[in-house]
Amino acid sequence: MKVRILLALILFVTFAPLCVRAQGYSVQTNNAILIQNATILTITHGNIEHGSILIRDGKIAAVGTDVKASDGAIVIDANGQYVMPGIIDCHSHIAVDGSVNEGSVSVSSMANIADVLNPDDISIYDDLSGGVTTANILHGSANPIGGQTIVIKLRWGKPASELPFQGALPGIKFALGENPKRSNFAPPPGVEPRYPATRMGVEETIREAFIEACEYKKQRDDYNRKKAAGDQDLLPPRRNEKLEPLVEVMEGKRYVHAHCYRADEILMLIRVANEFGFKVRTFQHVLEGYKIADEIAASGAGGSTFSDWWAYKMEAFDAIPYNAALMTERGVVVSVNSDDAEEARHLNQEAAKSVKYGGLSANDALKLVTLNPAIQLGIDNRVGSIEVGKDADLAIFNRDPLSVYAVVQKTLIDGQVYFDREKDIAARPALGKEKQDLLAKEKKASEEKKASDKLDANPEKKPDQRKKHPQNSEDNAAAVAGGS
Amino acid sequence: MNKVLRIRAATYQVIALLLVLLLAFPLWSQRAASVYAIKNAKIYTLAEPPIEKGVVVIRDGKIAAVGADIAIPEGAQVIDAVGLEVYPGMFDPITQIGLNEVGAVSATVDANELGDFNPELIAATAVNPASAHIPVTRASGITEVISAPGVGGFDSQSSGIIAGQASAFNLAGWTMGEMQINPSVAMVLNWPSIQTSSFDFSTFSMKEKPYEDAKKEYDKSVNQLSDWLTRARHYAQAKEKGSPDLFVRDLKLEALIPVVEGKLPVLVVADEARDIRNAINFCTKQNLKMILASGAESWKVKDLLKEKKIPVILGPTERLPEQEDTAYDKPMTQPSELNAAGIQFAFSSFGTSFSRRLPQYAGTAVGYGLSHDEALKAVMLNAAQIFGLADQLGTIEPGKLANLIVTTGDPLEIQTEVRYLFIKGQLTSTDNRHKHLYEQYRKRLAPAR
């Protein structure tokens, strides 16, 4: 059976096991944390040797060489270590419950990834271990116009309701080329192939949807205008879940993240966007972006690409590892993304490749996974650099994060430690024992069941061995309250 | 024609000649100089401690001499490598380079034959020497690879149980005849894993299967495998002792003879501990020479691997833990664990387009505890030893094939560049499709702002 790369990717995402690997180490918000003695890679204000970062109420309160801890601040000594802004992954499919693709229709804008966030996806923890703090969770690329998308923070251990990045504009996935035209995906037996099957059809699908959306917007605007003019005898137009997000796109309330590969299809979408008066916020993958970097820069779109993936399909055959650097050189805001729960664990390494391929400076390379994706997602006022007032989303490495040898030691979000390598390692013996105990218990239970099945053949009264469900005692409640 | 024009014409002729020479300067060439000397370099021979400032002499495709005080032969093309470092070229021991051009385009993929038992197939037969992957990969310092049929990676697919013979070759040459190191270094055996869940394409979801059913399928496959080996043994006997008049050649059984005789190793692809144990027990019982490939859960089987002296070709460190309760960093710490246990291993990409990430995989393992020396061996020397090619490859020693790289620094670091590349003793270009596209489109864009 052929397992193609994208399906494999989807598998990673869709069937990532529930967490039993790791505990959340989130420290409840302390008033103050001081990270001291570190090399601080601020991204916007150069590097600070032997610097400190004071965090208060989840925000960066001070940065510099002369920062003093306030009373009661927790001190993290990062001597010899490097602190960079938390990594932002502009293309991710982690934390999604079930498939990321509503592939049955050509326009699936009614589907929303925000409805299926899964806070138990172990990939959240995996990616935290690579210093990722924010991710743009996208719908799949099966449709020219795909589902709605959401930016999350990787608040491992928190419920789904606390994952979204508050204040980040929602998005919608568009997709061009081989995936929406289903080139590499044969429909299952008995299922008709779905329109479109060509790049012409992809363009037509998008234009058609926006023509509909314009009509819908007009109805709605007419209604609002008449209502505002005092007309009482009106029926509001029926709300259209498919077209509503497209209207939001045209009103600038929702970002378009467009999956694309070839230069021609990128230019196509720029034309269509101009026709309907909206802007593409990011071109995703955009592996041939280097061919038309000037046109992309002029359109105002960002480019979010892979470091060095190529040749896995036809439209990726002209992909080059110089893409990020060359687009940057031409004025495009560029990020390097993962599209994969594993690749996200070393985006710092992937960023380093643009130093080798295309000669970006170290700081510009780091921007590819910090400030630039923040700009692309419209959250650069909150994250993406180490500056006073920004969210305390940080990754602490044991050495320069552009080195292949750098290992993440701690990852903080909103000033809370969500990943701590030392604690993870320290917890392993206890977790191992817990597993062995559970296995032993399970084995014992199954043996007892076998024995009791025998007894059942010869019935007699057995003592009630059921344990009482643990009560939510005062102690328990106090412990919960005391921890916050 | 006036004088000015004539001079201009002459100038054009010179330029044209230079251009022709430039174009004719081959990506690699048998006709280029046959004696080279690399001087003033820090040389990591991997056989002896590094030479701080030394000379490597290359003659007729082989390393002729290496050391601190080596005389540079007259007529040698000299490369002054001051500030640079010399290493043996890297060896990616499981790839589909040449067999797989564009993963999703089946017309460009020759890696996966139909049928479960194809021992007679040889990768070298179908490797395309003009593949764009070859120059791209060697530009990252990988000088030789093994292409293996039927072994899936990130950009490739697995197929069959006995998928065919893996072939070792240099990443430069006009024909396979010129590139070839050894067309048959191992027999690929995709170990029939006991799979209780599989992906169902009709519903696009995982389908669970009872263990008993999965075990039945597994037993059936292993029995078939045993049958093939038994038949191969009988065939070998018949070939040796039977009457030539009555003997009918069978390509499949013939190909299995070196396997059952323990001469050709089986490259057993398995990841889960249960499968690895089953495979080791099977190979022991059948007297097969086993090399474990991929081996995500080798760390659970260290004792057995050590006891049976089975080497491991490790899949990328860039993978997620196999089980939900496996430590998050296990794929990165495993190399150092295997090394501490005295198990021989080499890194591999198991890919085509990802082959150039080989040094990154090794470097990541260093971050998580493997010594730098061991990491270098695990991308340069160990695979050569494991596949019986260490007499030709893996170190910078006189008499070995001159496959070596001259770098701007640590070859495992992402930012390090390969300045010069020698394959079979020829100075080989680092030009490739990606550089060409970069330069071509850079020209298209207006002058930088």
* Tens-digit pLDDT profile for residues B313-351: 999 999 999 888 899 999 999 999 999 999 999 999 999
pLDDT at A2: 36
pLDDT at A229: 96
Dihedral of CA B410/B415/B416/B418: which sign?
A: positive
> Taking all residues of chain B, what is their mean pLDDT, rounded to a whole number?
92
pLDDT at B9: 56
Quick one: average pLDDT of A107-134? Answer: 98
pLDDT-derived band at B245, boundaries 50, 70, 90: confident
pLDDT at A15: 38
Q: A298 and chain B: CB distance < 8 Å anywhere? A: no
pLDDT at A9: 42
Nearest to A169 by CA among A376, A384, A414: A376
Contact A349 B364 (CB under 8 A): yes
Distance CA A266, CA A82 (A): 38
Indicate whether B30 pLDDT > 50: no
Contact B326 A21 (CB under 8 A): yes
Angle between the A199-228 and A263-276 helix axes, to the nearest 10 degrees? 20
| pLDDT tens-place string over residues B32-51 | 568 999 999 999 999 999 99
Indicate whether B3 pLDDT > 80: no
pTM, to two decimals: 0.90
Which of residues B188 and A471 earns the better pLDDT score?
B188
Contacts with B155 from chain A: Cβ below 8 Å = 5, 311-312
Per-residue burial over A273-285, b if 16 or more Cβ lie within 10 Å, else e, is: beebebebbbbbb
Which of residues A377 and B16 earns the better pLDDT score?
A377
pLDDT-derived band at A186, boundaries 50, 70, 90: confident
Indicate whether B365 pLDDT > 50: yes
Indicate whether A436 pLDDT > 70: yes
Contacts with A326 from chain B: Cβ below 8 Å = 438, 441-442, 445
Quick one: average pLDDT of A21-35? Answer: 63
Distance CA B391, CA B401 (A): 9
| pLDDT tens-place string over residues B174-225 | 999 999 999 999 999 999 988 888 776 666 677 888 999 999 999 999 999 9
Looking at chain A, how many residues does it have?
484
pLDDT at B198: 77
Indicate whether A176 pLDDT > 70: yes
Indicate whether B13 pLDDT > 80: no
pLDDT-derived band at A318, boundaries 50, 70, 90: very high
pLDDT at A30: 56
pLDDT-derived band at A18, boundaries 50, 70, 90: very low
pLDDT at A17: 36
| Lowest-pLDDT choice from A8-22, A46-60, A207-221 | A8-22
Residue A227 in tokens: 């209502």
Beta bridge partners of A260: A285
Distance CA A199, CA A144 (A): 10
pLDDT at A4: 40
| Lowest-pLDDT choice from A116-130, B7-21, B408-422 | B7-21
Output A423-429 pairs: Cβ under 8 A, ≥24 positions apart.
A423/A25, A424/A22, A424/A25, A424/A129, A424/B327, A424/B328, A425/B327, A427/A22, A427/A23, A428/B327
Per-residue burial over B363-396, b if 16 or more Cβ lie within 10 Å, else e, is: bbbbbbbbeeebbbbbbbbbbbbbbbbeebbbbb
Q: Are B166 and B94 in contact (CB under 8 A)?
A: yes
Dihedral of CA B19/B23/B25/B30: which sign?
A: negative
- Judged by DSSP in three states, A151 sits in strand
The CA-atom distances, in angstroms, between B325 and each of A22, A430, A463, B211 are 8, 12, 35, 21
| pLDDT tens-place string over residues A321-354 | 999 999 999 999 999 999 999 999 999 999 999 9
Percent of chain B at pLDDT above 70? 90
The A residues from 386 to 445 touching B (CB cutoff 8 Å) are 402-407, 424-425, 428, 431, 435
Indicate whether A481 pLDDT > 60: no
Quick one: average pLDDT of A459-483? Answer: 39
Quick one: average pLDDT of A292-319? Answer: 98
| pLDDT tens-place string over residues B374-418 | 999 999 999 999 999 999 999 999 999 999 999 999 999 999 999
Looking at chain B, how many residues does it have?
449
pLDDT at A478: 35
Q: A125 and chain B: CB distance < 8 Å anywhere? A: yes
Q: Minimal Cα–Cα distance from A37 to chain B, Å? A: 22
Contact A312 B104 (CB under 8 A): yes
Task: Give every CB contact of residue A175 below 8 A, 6+ residues apart in sequence.
Answer: A140, A141, A142, A143, A144, A146, A258, A259, A260
Contacts with A23 from chain B: Cβ below 8 Å = none
pLDDT at B196: 86
